[in-house]
Structure 1
Amino acid sequence: MPEKHKMTDEELTMMQEMVMENEEQEADNKVLEDIPEDEISDLPASFHMETYDEEENDIAIKSCIGSSLEEDKQLSDEEITDQDMQDDEEIDVSRLKLDEEDEKDLELDREDLEIRPNDIVILVANTEDDFSNLEVQIYDEENGSLYVHHEINLPDFPLCLSWMDFNPVPADPTKELESGSFVAVGTFKPGIEIWNLDILDVLEPSAILGGEEESMRKNVMPKVSSKKDRQIRLRHGSHTDAVMSLDWNHTHRNMLVSGSADHTVKVWDILTQNCLHTMQHHTNKVQCVRWNPSETTVLATASFDHRLLVLDGRHPDAFSSFPLSADVESIAWAPYQPNKLVAATEDGVVVCYDVRMNASEPLTRFQAHAGTVSAVSFAAQIPGMFATAGIDKTVKIWDLLHFDKEPKCIATKEMNVGGLYAMSFCIDTPFLLGCGGASGTLALWESSEKCVIEEHFQSRVQKNQQASVLAAAKVGEIAATLHAVDTQASTKQKKKKPKKKRSSQE
């Protein structure tokens, strides 16, 4: 059950300072009008304002109050009867009933806050006008109910999310791999905020990777006198522009990768909040980053430079490059064939590459939507079940089990939430997927409700364990291929060094 956040003395002081600074700012902006004294009318003489502050009046009032209290005390001592005692007992009984009702209400509140093992937790980032927040929504699959469990107010427009179970600030420093429920949020700012989802009414993130050097508290409400003079200083290793993509490494749990509008890809150590590597392979904004689900040091990145890159984090200077037809929108590794990588672009095209081949032509290319394909996702428990979402407001289900054949569209559904911007399968429920649209609403689809989908894929659900074993046996080929590319790149660099040196001397 999530804990309720308790404000510290430091946070209370911060809130008081914010209120005071708000009042000062309002006072500075308010236009004061001079009112001539002769326009102020005097109060009637009957009010005796000239003697209003004299102490005698205060003494008289206190005397009056004191005598009244004494009379009430005497009356209460003299007039207590059996009826009064009975009334008091009835009041006590009614209070007891109220206490019992309060306890029941509290128990109901506890039940509402409790997240049960079968509940599906969904993170939803919302923005309306200048207000942004992160909603933790709960879907009770058994009852078909969906509700907002709690929400976190975000200081900036959210661009990307990545859930993690790694605590960036462990309570016990000796237990570095402490678990929890956290989410990394990328915004238009260069910093990456990590929020604790287990605490209600949280005011600030548990950790910030990169971003401004000054603390968040100082930046929340800068003083008017220093607002113009304040220079933004970034922490060492920080991005310098918006953070557009994030992905947490499920195996190396302290590692998070980020892609930015500053054209770089960074790998972070969540525990130390330091940047481990900065990769500058792209020449435009980095829209997508994804760790390979099986070979966990292999990373895919995609940029608006129309290139899809695959590299090994142990040899970041070596990479394989694959061309794209337009600006990339989404990428995904095939969970049961981890050497296959899918990318979707704004021209509605989906391509699939075998990253071991380092070939310029994809295994598969097909027109998934008439407009932009905003998101792609594989069903984690059903080999070959693949979904695409588009700005055309629809989700399409495809059979992408055999990448060397033309994929077949099994079904199409309009989600009725406007143009779709995000979509993903649930990793714990085979056929369930969720998507977010322009209307600002989350839509869930139990795709097995369509008989054609259930009939087509149901037989594959029982075979998922065997498929995952076969996939694990093949993943080593990816790293070996990239390592071979690394060796070739190093040889080529050694041959080019003398030429580069001569040109610099000229």
Structure 2
Amino acid sequence: MSSMITTTTWIRRGVAAQFPTKYEIDEEEMERISKLARQQLEEAQEDLDEAKQKEKREEEEDVDAMDEDEKTDETRKEDKTTTEIDDDLKEYDLEHYDDDEDEEGGKSILFGNVKSLAYYKPGEKDPYLELPEGQEEDEEREELQILPTDNLLVAGKVEDEVAHLEVYVYEDSEDNLYVHHDIMLPAIPLCIEWLDIPVGRGSEGRETGNFVAVGTMEPDIEIWDLDIVDCLYPNAILGQGGEENENESSSKSDKKKKKKKSSKKANDNYHVDAVLALAANRQHRNLLASASADRTVKLWDLTTTKCAKSYTHHTDKVCALDWHPKESTVLLSGSYDRTVVAADMRAPEAQGARWAVSSDVENLRWDVHDPNFFYVTTDNGMVYRYDVRNAPSTPSASKALWTLQAHDSSVSAFDINPVIPGFIVTGSTDKQVKLWNIQDDKPSMIVSRKPDVGKIFSATFAPDPEVSFRLAVAGSKGVVQVWDTSTNGAVRRTFASRLPAVADEANIQERTVQANDDSSDSSDGEEPEEEGGDGDQGWESMDED
């Protein structure tokens, strides 16, 4: 069974509903689902008809090419098979196998001891099969409960070509990580962004919420309510799919014409290719930025679910976004054209400041502890730190504050600890995760680790001060691990003074939590890589694929 996790995001404590509700279908929701299903069915039917016609043509060609001798051989085989079946029926009396009567024409002998069985008439309750009234609901409600001290962790997963979101609950005090519920997706998830503003169905009169926007290999962006379990369809769709659902007044013929005319040409209203990055504006909560393989960046108004602005700052796929922590209208974008742009979204005609890097951009982030700086990671294993105040006159004149060859292959995962200054993490397709101290602009590696998750696609720090040392790591093996980095001696010695409350150093064991697995790290006897820092003696490296 092949699976992988492509993206993850933490959700801070206290924002999830303590008792998530079960999805219920009312008339309005049923009508909405019917419209979505009808549209999908029509498209699937067209594809099926085309496939059938193609298959029929191929079969006719094969039949025409078949020799008469082959036809005769097939007929003989069929006659022989029929004769063998008839002989078996006679020998074992299989023709009367399902008869309910015995040889004397009496009652069925299948249940000869039926008198000793207790049975209940229609309408009567079996006490062994049915719980007392209300007990089942209470137990189900308790199973769904999320405590105020729990974090949620959302992961985009592909398993045997089936794409879905897994919503985990992380109980730090119990070292417990488990899947609370999951959400089916139409295509491979590529990015997730948490939203605290209600969007779409049922958002009327609500000021806060617990939602996620999901970008996939499809051009549409889906928005889901995490406080509803077993939901069938998203609350809202940003893109052409959402527009088509609203325009139900058009006839079927119009829809077919619209479908035939649709093209992959970029436009100002919706994406036409995979959505590679999402960024929610935390100060203007109704704004969501998206980046796509169609080379555009789009700004969505979540109150109307419409595209407000579209930008073409890049000449290749745009794969990374981040809003400035203080200048709320400045957006950082990175692309496969090997440039990074910092632009004010209020002026779409302005190209903004532009920096050039040596390879395709993988990740970028503003430094939340000092927003004058930002980081860029690339496909060739590099990490760059730039000062936004020293924008180059031309991209070729870009000069980083410092550069770091963090890995030998792509730095596919990167994060900045939101609580502890100078604490960053890099993850790579070389299957390694590295923790760095970059205080005083002198980057040094604290510890390197090879967790048993395959190629690293996501490495993110928990958002709350109480769990600021927790790091979620996921990758090509389709599992999530949460590592308490404070259990490493070198990490404690380096960062303890930057956090008011830390774990006691005495007798602390290496602590890693994996979903549905209570065991800690498995060791293959290798010594871990620990350049640039001294780890604790209990360090264990993980097996490779």
Same fold (TM > 0.5): yes
Query: In the superposition, relative to structure 1, how do residues 172 and 340 fare at CA in structure 2: closer, same or farther (>3 Å)?
Result: closer
**2:289 pairs with 236, 257, 270, which one?**
257
Confirm whether residue 143 of structure 1 aligns to residue 174 of structure 2. Answer: yes
State how far apart, in whole Å, the 2-side matches of 1:456 and 1:365 are.
Answer: 21
Query: In the superposition, relative to structure 1, how do residues 236 and 313 fare at CA in structure 2: closer, same or farther (>3 Å)?
Result: closer
State how far apart, in whole Å, the 1-side matches of 2:258 and 2:416 are.
Answer: 49
Confirm whether residue 178 of structure 1 aligns to residue 196 of structure 2. Answer: no
State how far apart, in whole Å, the 2-side matches of 1:95 and 1:277 are.
Answer: 61
**Amino acid of the residue matched to residue 415 of structure 1?**
P
Query: In the superposition, relative to structure 1, how do residues 124 and 217 fare at CA in structure 2: closer, same or farther (>3 Å)?
Result: farther
Counterpart in the other structure of 2:238: 209
State how far apart, in whole Å, the 2-side matches of 1:5 and 1:402 are.
Answer: 51
Counterpart in the other structure of 1:270: 302
1:136 Cα shift?
A: 0.6
**1:302 pairs with 307, 313, 334, which one?**
334
SS of alignment partner, residue 214 of structure 2: strand
Confirm whether residue 130 of structure 1 aligns to residue 150 of structure 2. Answer: no
Counterpart in the other structure of 1:356: 389
TM-score, length-normalised on structure 1? 0.71
State how far apart, in whole Å, the 1-side matches of 2:35 and 2:379 are.
Answer: 48
**Amino acid of the residue matched to residue 328 of structure 1?**
V
**1:366 pairs with 404, 410, 420, which one?**
404
Per-residue Cα deviation, 1:330-387 (whole angstroms, up to 9, x for no partner): 1111111111100100111100001011141100101101111101101111011110
Confirm whether residue 418 of structure 1 aligns to residue 472 of structure 2. Answer: no
**Amino acid of the residue matched to residue 297 of structure 2?**
V
- Is the radius of gyration larger for structure 1 or structure 2? 1
1:418 Cα shift?
A: 0.4
Contact 1:192 1:211 in 2 (8 A): no
**Amino acid of the residue matched to residue 268 of structure 1?**
W
Query: In the superposition, relative to structure 1, how do residues 314 and 17 fare at CA in structure 2: closer, same or farther (>3 Å)?
Result: closer
Counterpart in the other structure of 2:470: 432
Confirm whether residue 111 of structure 1 aligns to residue 142 of structure 2. Answer: yes
SS of alignment partner, residue 143 of structure 2: helix
Per-residue Cα deviation, 1:107-132 (whole angstroms, up to 9, x for no partner): 33212201111111001111134310
Contact 2:23 2:230 in 1 (8 A): yes
1:14 Cα shift?
A: 7.2
Aligned length: 406
**Farther-moved stretch of structure 1 (345-354 vs 9-18):** 9-18
SS of alignment partner, residue 402 of structure 1: helix
Query: In the superposition, relative to structure 1, how do residues 393 and 227 fare at CA in structure 2: closer, same or farther (>3 Å)?
Result: farther
SS of alignment partner, residue 244 of structure 2: coil
1:103 Cα shift?
A: 4.8
Query: In the superposition, relative to structure 1, how do residues 115 and 231 fare at CA in structure 2: closer, same or farther (>3 Å)?
Result: farther
State how far apart, in whole Å, the 2-side matches of 1:160 and 1:347 are.
Answer: 21
Contact 1:308 1:323 in 2 (8 A): yes
Contact 2:434 2:446 in 1 (8 A): yes
State how far apart, in whole Å, the 1-side matches of 2:132 and 2:426 are.
Answer: 50
SS of alignment partner, residue 486 of structure 2: helix
Contact 2:222 2:237 in 1 (8 A): yes
Confirm whether residue 443 of structure 1 aligns to residue 481 of structure 2. Answer: yes
Counterpart in the other structure of 1:387: 425
State how far apart, in whole Å, the 2-side matches of 1:217 and 1:409 are.
Answer: 55
State how far apart, in whole Å, the 1-side matches of 2:203 and 2:432 are.
Answer: 47
Confirm whether residue 232 of structure 1 aligns to residue 265 of structure 2. Answer: no
Over aligned residues, Cα RMSD in angstroms? 3.8
State how far apart, in whole Å, the 1-side matches of 2:495 and 2:423 are.
Answer: 7
1:287 Cα shift?
A: 0.8
Confirm whether residue 189 of structure 1 aligns to residue 222 of structure 2. Answer: no
**Amino acid of the residue matched to residue 195 of structure 1?**
W
Contact 2:212 2:223 in 1 (8 A): yes
1:216 Cα shift?
A: 9.4
1:295 Cα shift?
A: 2.3
**Amino acid of the residue matched to residue 390 of structure 2?**
M
Confirm whether residue 245 of structure 1 aligns to residue 281 of structure 2. Answer: no
Query: In the superposition, relative to structure 1, how do residues 431 and 27 fare at CA in structure 2: closer, same or farther (>3 Å)?
Result: same
Contact 2:412 2:457 in 1 (8 A): yes
State how far apart, in whole Å, the 1-side matches of 2:430 and 2:485 are.
Answer: 19
Counterpart in the other structure of 1:319: 352
- Superposition map of 1:457-468 within 5 A: 457-462=495-500
Contact 1:246 1:259 in 2 (8 A): yes
**1:347 pairs with 366, 370, 380, which one?**
380
Counterpart in the other structure of 1:48: none
Counterpart in the other structure of 1:408: 444
**Farther-moved stretch of structure 1 (3-12 vs 191-200):** 3-12
Per-residue Cα deviation, 1:138-192 (whole angstroms, up to 9, x for no partner): 111111111111111001121111110111226465x4x6211111111222221
TM-score, length-normalised on structure 2? 0.66
State how far apart, in whole Å, the 2-side matches of 1:105 and 1:415 are.
Answer: 40
Contact 1:210 1:236 in 2 (8 A): no
Contact 1:170 1:178 in 2 (8 A): no
Structure with the higher fraction of residues in helix conformation: 1
State how far apart, in whole Å, the 1-side matches of 2:408 and 2:360 are.
Answer: 15
* Higher RCO (C-alpha under 8 Å, 6+ residues apart): 2
SS of alignment partner, residue 448 of structure 1: helix
SS of alignment partner, residue 214 of structure 1: helix
Contact 2:201 2:236 in 1 (8 A): no
**1:453 pairs with 491, 494, 498, which one?**
491
State how far apart, in whole Å, the 2-side matches of 1:172 and 1:444 are.
Answer: 33
State how far apart, in whole Å, the 1-side matches of 2:36 and 2:275 are.
Answer: 28
Query: In the superposition, relative to structure 1, how do residues 165 and 102 fare at CA in structure 2: closer, same or farther (>3 Å)?
Result: same
State how far apart, in whole Å, the 2-side matches of 1:6 and 1:335 are.
Answer: 40
Gaps of at least 5 residues in structure 1 are: 32-38, 41-86, 465-506
**Amino acid of the residue matched to residue 337 of structure 2?**
D
Counterpart in the other structure of 2:91: none
State how far apart, in whole Å, the 1-side matches of 2:201 and 2:30 are.
Answer: 21
State how far apart, in whole Å, the 2-side matches of 1:113 and 1:178 are.
Answer: 23
Query: In the superposition, relative to structure 1, how do residues 321 and 295 fare at CA in structure 2: closer, same or farther (>3 Å)?
Result: same
